[in-house]
Structure 1
Amino acid sequence: MGGAERTARKRRQQQVAGRSSGAKAVSAARRGGDGKRVAVIVGVVVAVLAVVVGGLIWTNAAKNATEGQKIPTETGQTEIAERRDGAVVVLGDENAPATIDVYADFLCPVCATFDQQYGAQIKQKVADGTVQVRQHMLPMLVEMSDPPGYSMESANAALLAADAGKFVEFHDSLFANQPEEGKRGYDKDQLIQLGRDLGITDKAFAEGVRNGKYEKVLTEEMERVSADTSLRRDFGGGRVGFGTPTVVANGKIVDIGDPAWLDKVVGTATS
């Protein structure tokens, strides 16, 4: 082999080696780039999972905000006579000139607002003998807690509290510390403890809460109210039906949007 041929062959070998080294370098670079992309993707996935898990933890905590809570008590400032009449709790003097029927649900947020705005006024007029209240606590929103049932269980417990002469305090405590609609309510143990904290010592209260003593009576009352056309209102947009809170006086639904509605009811009854 001549010198020229050896030189040419050496040049070809160098070119092949160069291409091979370049290919290896490109491959390594690609592998490095892929590694970086994989690292970025993994980082994004981990971040997303952290957000999802964090969101689930926060959501569950918010949903179960009432779990393990002790329900604060609200004690009455005035003595009000009370008695249970089936599914209705009657407050005040039966000879009072004015009588109002109040329909509410312990889970209804508008009912809590109504109680906050007018509860003290109503109790004062009951205490001074000008108004008698027939309180209907309904299991209307029984499916609107998680788990379902708080609306019924709280109404049942309130009737049992009325048997013990503690309805007003029990009623006021549940509205003052109302669970959020769509989330966890208070369980039976919490309702029983509230009764104890309000001074209910009779074992019949706890037993009645646990076995749902008045649930059948409350279901029948809810059915009666739902079928009573005189309790239906026009909510606009073609929606007509019953809703809480509803106040009735002299057989007619009262406009509780009028701040003076209670004085007007009493004025009509005493004029």
Structure 2
Amino acid sequence: MASKDREHIRKLREEANALRLKEEARKRRNRMFTQIGIVVGAIVVIGAIVLLVVMGPKWFGNQQVPESSGTVAITNSEGQEVEVPIAASNDGIVVGLEDAPVTVDYYFDFSCPHCQDYHEVLGGDIEQVIADGSAKVNFHMIRFVSEYGLVAGAATAAVVEYQPELFFTVMDGLFAIPAETQATMSYGDYATQVAALGVTSQEALQAIENGDFSWWMSDRTNQARTDGVQGTPSLFIDGEYQETLPTSGDELRAVIAAASGEAAPAPAETEPAETEPAESAATEETPAE
């Protein structure tokens, strides 16, 4: 009888132990699933935050795009002032005749010191080839270097939207401001600056203060990177990237002429200076006495 009781107790203990082990295994599985759920949930939350940071301005920001047209006065190579069309769109600011034989895509950054130097050297020549009808230029304002490049570009876009005839005036004026000054300028400071350059449109000044075209500048910068633009300044002539930038007006005209199939303009000839016949270096010998 005692033997049977001990066997019964042993079986009960084994069954209880099996139930305990089964319960512990169930709890371990639940803890594992809970931990996996927490990790997955954290990854989803972090991913959502990153997505909002990256895409939030594009989805929810002020996605205003300049859409204007008009004319702007520039000087041709003969010194005559001419009016040419200017039109702003999502793709950039195009200046020049619609039927111009060559299209130049010019990428620049107001905060890029090389762009500032390039504008100083070739800005006038770029305007001349437009005024001469040799090419139309699509100006792509982007920001690769410093944040103020975006703010200056957004301010310029606002001017083009409401007073497109002042595009070159504002472009020249902003490039003339030292980098250390622009680095501390706010949107309001840019509004004050362009007003001093002649902008009178209250809509333009308000758009600058509001940063209405900041999203557009960011979007154009991202698109430039997607299109393979690796630095500024960059030029594309009829879609062909210029690995070597023209560094003079003559070089720029030669590249544009080549793209249009015309002969490059010949450099001005200079007449050789007249020279006196060289005197003989030999001296006449004196006969010995």
TM-score interval w.r.t. the shorter chain? Answer: 0.5 to 0.7
2:171 and 2:85 mapped to 1: Cα distance?
14
- 1:175 to partner: Cα distance: 1.1
Which residue identity is paired with 1:83?
A
- Residues 264 and 171 of structure 1, relative CA distance in 2, 3 Å threshold: same
Q: 1:267 to 1:162 in 2, by over 3 A?
A: same
Match of 1:113 among 104, 113, 117: 117
Inter-partner Cα distance in structure 2 for 1:178 and 1:270: 40
In structure 2, the CA distance between the partners of 1:150 and 1:258, relative to structure 1 (3 Å rule), is: closer
Q: Is the 8 A contact 1:92 1:133 kept in 2?
A: yes
Number of the residue aligned with 1:200 = 199
CA distance in 1, matches of 2:180, 2:84: 29
| Aligned mate of 1:153, from 151, 154, 164 | 151
In structure 2, distance between residues paired with 1:179 and 1:258:
22
Deviation at 1:152, TM superposition (A): 1.2
- How much does 1:186 deviate? 2.9
Q: Distance in 2 between matches of 1:258 and 1:157?
A: 28
CA gap of 1:87–1:203, structure 2 versus 1, over 3 A, is farther
Report deviation, 1:270: 4.2
- Where has structure 1 moved over 6 Å in runs of 4 or more? none
Q: What SS class does the counterpart of residue 106 from structure 2 fall into?
A: strand
1:116 Cα deviation from its structure 2 partner: 1.0
Partner Cα distance (2:91, 2:208) in 1: 15
Secondary structure at the counterpart of residue 221 of structure 2 = helix
Deviation at 1:81, TM superposition (A): 3.0
- Which residue number in structure 2 is paired with residue 64 of structure 1? none
> Residue 167 of structure 2 aligns with which residue?
167
Q: Distance in 1 between matches of 2:125 and 2:255?
A: 13
TM-score (norm 2): 0.57
Per-residue deviation, residues 119-161 of structure 1 (Å, max 9, x unmatched): 11111111121111100111222xx3xxxx3111100011111
Q: How many residues align?
A: 179
Quick one: distance in 1 between partners of 2:116 and 2:247?
A: 17
Contact 1:153–1:212 under 8 Å retained in 2: yes
Encode CA deviations 1:23-54: one digit per residue, 9 max, x unaligned: xxxxxxxxxxxxxxxxxxxxxxxxxxxxxxxx
Q: Relative to 1, partners in 2 of residues 1:170 and 1:91: Cα closer, same or farther, differing over 3 Å?
A: same
Alignment-derived partner of residue 105 in structure 2 = 101
Work out whether 1:264 is the aligned partner of 2:283: no
Q: Percent identity?
A: 24
1:1-271 → structure 2 map (5 Å cutoff): 78=81, 79-86=83-90, 88-141=92-145, 144=146, 149-163=147-161, 164-165=163-164, 166-180=166-180, 184-229=183-228, 231=229, 242-254=230-242, 255-257=244-246, 259=248, 260-268=250-258, 269-271=260-262
Matched position secondary structure for 1:113: helix
Query: Per-residue deviation at 1:87?
Result: 5.0
Shift of 1:199: 2.9
- Equivalent pair of 1:97/1:270 in contact (CA under 8 Å): no
Offset at 1:258? 5.1
Which gives a bigger RCO, structure 1 or 2 (Cα 8 Å, sep 6+)? 1
Corresponding letter in the other structure for 1:176? A
Q: Which runs of 5+ in 1 are unaligned?
A: 1-74, 232-241
Query: For residues 76 and 95 of structure 1, what CA distance do their matches in structure 2 show?
Result: 18
Task: Give the aligned partner of residue 12 of structure 1.
Answer: none
